[in-house]
Amino acid sequence: MTTAYLYAPLFLEHQEYGHPESPERLNAILRTLDETALLPRLMPLEPAPATEAHIEAVHTREHLARVKQLVARGGGHFDPDTYANEYTLDAALLAAGALVRAVDAVIAGEVDNAFALVRPPGHHATRTRAMGFCIFNNVAIAAQHALEAHRLERVLIVDYDVHHGNGTQDIFYDSPRVLYFSTHQYPHYPGTGDWREIGRGEGLGYTANVPLPAGVSDRGFQYIFDELLVPLAERYSPQLILVSAGYDAHWSDPLAMENLTVAGYGALARTLVALARDLCGGRIIFTLEGGYHLPALAYGVAATCHALLGDENIPDPLGASPHPEYAFDAVRHYVEHLKGVHNLV
């Protein structure tokens, strides 16, 4: 199994003092991959910047112009959460381009699968605006590139960041060519992702949201994947799976209140890798979204890399959650309801 990773030092230059979405996130990941002897097992792929055509395939020209203008002034804020400095445009173009490169490599068979270790993240960026720490929607750009350049017809995007990927949903809400599946704490930033949001027009039925209460643990997330995501994916039969991988549902994360462990993340990744193997020749690409407790983020990414490499043993140095599991019965009943919503019963 050949697993690629995509990274560039430029990603560290996008920064604002004291902001949780910091360069240290990538530094912690790379240190941990090195210390756990995973890094030498991964194949480095050099990212190239996305073109303006890549960006404008999913974003408006006006959005790109606003980013350019703010960066040209030396930086500032798109909103209270989302900053730019003089390096942000170049970093964001390279982050999006890393996903484009990963799509090309995986579809061409150059590598089996890949993890894009990029920042700024992307899944909150809508067609028209930057928000939620995100400038351009990296995973949406990747999906659109797969559809246009490689003439794919069906792409599955799985988003397990603890925050709903409102931007990804926004971009593909009317399209049957992308099935968007999201688990997220609700109500939580950005306040979207109700279960009733299932697509519109030709895209009706191609958005599946699983808004969760606080406290859902490994067993609950795995049940959702096994009982809801897997049958949805099998029915859809994607030709490529893209994963918005956020590690902020870990029990230690300061920005949310879910109860996943590193082992739980490894199990979810293993489920997705197996799904890709069964449905689309193993073609799967993960891209980094959130995760703000540095050890949980770093070990979560390591667990995902173990799964991509096909390892049987996935270590969890942080261990079990100290918080009790109390939401599983609610999750089980909720999944039965969502099966009805999505015609799986």
124 is catalytic: yes
Best CA proximity match to 141, nearest among 153, 126, 131 = 126
Best CA proximity match to 155, nearest among 240, 282, 229, 278 = 240
Per-residue tokens: 21 = 């979405």
Residue burial 156-167, b: 16+ Cβ < 10 Å; e: rest:
bbbbbbbbbbbb
Secondary structure letter of residue 119 according to DSSP: S
Asked if residues 99 and 287 have their Cβ atoms less than 8 Å apart, the reply is yes
Cα 36 from Cα 22, distance rounded (Å): 22
For 252-289, the three-class secondary structure string (H helix, E strand, C coil) is: CCCCCCCEECHHHHHHHHHHHHHHHHHHHCCCEEEEEC
Cα 77 from Cα 97, distance rounded (Å): 23
Q: Of 54, 124, 145, 293, which residue is the catalytic one?
A: 124
Query: Active-site residues: which are they?
Result: 124
